[in-house]
Amino acid sequence: MKFLVIGGAGYIGSHMVKQLLRAGHELVVADNFSTGYRSALPGGKLVELDIADAQALDDVFAAEHFDAVFHFASFIQVGESVTEPAKYYRNNLAATLTLLQAMVRAKVKHLVFSSTAAVYGDPVYVPIDEEHPKAAINPYGRSKWMVEQILEDFDRAYGLKSVCLRYFNAAGADPEGQLGERHEPETHLLPLILQAASGRRESITVFGRDYDTPDGTCIRDYVHVVDLVAAHALAVDYLLAGGASTAFNLGNGQGFSVQEVIDTVRRVTGQDFCVSDAPRRAGDPPRLVADPRKANAILGWQTQFASLEDIVTHAWKWEQKHPWH
Ligand code: UDP
């Protein structure tokens, strides 16, 4: 099969590229390198473009016939989306609309779209299934939910079939140590703790110990990046076999608290580091845990690295060989 991977130089996209190449597919990777890294590209043919550029997209679609598109390119910082909403609506929403229109013009009928658990907002119940009310509480989550709704309309109007994958907390790294998480600035819990463990950062701050959870810290469903990309591969198979447009939650169905993540890092790495406490971060729900049964049942998705130890071990391997030390 031949696929276009947009945002293939980013954290999750680069792991996807590696897995698709290994499965023998032909790839074109498109990235504008606004947050991705050339060194993260495991292979494939590279096209440097911005999906806001309709002509550049038309050129790519005219040059190659794709069986499907994977769309990973988006801005992902919740806090930034609150202070700079225009950036999020322009890139995550408007530029994605430009991409969808180019796909319609080129008659490319299948899309796997990176969505997020942030579409649900503050959970009304956990674990969260796909039918849970969509009430995003920030522009990041709203931009993704708007795209999901546009995709429903594009299916009805143009027959564009899509799978929206709602990620819970993507974490971990390529077990072979070739790829990993690299955000500037880093805001995610696990890489920040690992930077404290390796000495790249003085300490880690816990945002809130007064939540209604067993140890008072927030609970999240951490899902290994290799398991995430495996779900994308199953999703594209599902679409190419004639599957209807739909959405799936991607998580393990198991939550770990911030304190449990810190304890696991100490145990796995054997390193001690300073932990300081700070007030709650705005917009953090106490508990976000996926009900992944729909992806299990329809895609046949089973996670390979559900244990936090595996996630931390692989991410630690990447932190230790960090190429920019
Ligand atoms: N968190 C923390 N300290 C940090 C970064 C994150 O205590 O320096 C907490 C955060 O409040 C949340 C959890 O770790 O409860 C996961 O946050 P992250 O930003 O990694 O992902 P999110 O759940 O926001 O998508």
Cα 180 to middle of ligand 1, angstroms: 18
Q: What is the pLDDT of residues 58-91, one digit of tens each?
A: 999 999 999 999 999 999 999 899 999 999 999 9
Q: What is the pLDDT of residues 270-291, one digit of tens each?
A: 999 999 999 999 888 999 999 9
Query: Which atom of ligand 1 lies at the shortest distance from residue 218's CA?
Result: 15
Q: How, if at all, do strands 169-171 and 219-220 pair? A: unpaired
Instruction: Write 156-162 long-range contacts (CB < 8 A, 24+).
Output: 158/104, 159/109, 160/100, 160/103, 160/104, 160/109, 160/110, 160/111, 160/245, 161/109, 161/110, 161/111, 161/239, 161/243, 161/244, 161/245, 162/110, 162/111, 162/112, 162/113, 162/239, 162/245
Give the class (CATH, top level) of 2-171+223-250.
alpha beta
pLDDT band, very low/low/confident/very high, at 323 (cuts 50, 70, 90): low
Return the pLDDT at 325.
45
Which segments of the chain belong to CATH 3.90.25.10? Answer: 189-220+253-321
In this structure, the residue with its CA closest to atom 10 of ligand 1 is 207
Return the pLDDT at 283.
83
Q: Which fold has domain 189-220+253-321?
A: UDP-galactose 4-epimerase; domain 1 (3.90.25)
Question: Between 185 and 301, where is the model more confident?
Answer: 301
Return the pLDDT at 38.
86
Cα 27 to middle of ligand 1, angstroms: 33
Return the pLDDT at 324.
54
Query: Going by C-beta distance under 8 Å and a sequence separation of 6 or more, which residues neighbour residue 164?
Result: 113, 115, 147, 148, 151, 246, 247, 248
Return the pLDDT at 42.
86
Query: Going by C-beta distance under 8 Å and a sequence separation of 6 or more, which residues neighbour residue 204?
Result: 192, 193, 196, 262, 273, 274, 275, 276
Nearest 10 degrees: CA dihedral of 53, 47, 84, 147? 70
Cα 303 to middle of ligand 1, angstroms: 22
Which segments of the chain belong to CATH 3.40.50.720? Answer: 2-171+223-250
Residue among 198, 223, 209 nearest 321 (CA) = 198
Q: What is the pLDDT of residues 212-226, one digit of tens each?
A: 999 999 999 999 999
Query: Which atom of ligand 1 lies at the shortest distance from residue 171's CA?
Result: 20
Return the pLDDT at 314.
98
pTM: 0.97
Share of the chain above pLDDT 90, in %: 92
Query: Which atom of ligand 1 lies at the shortest distance from residue 118's CA?
Result: 25
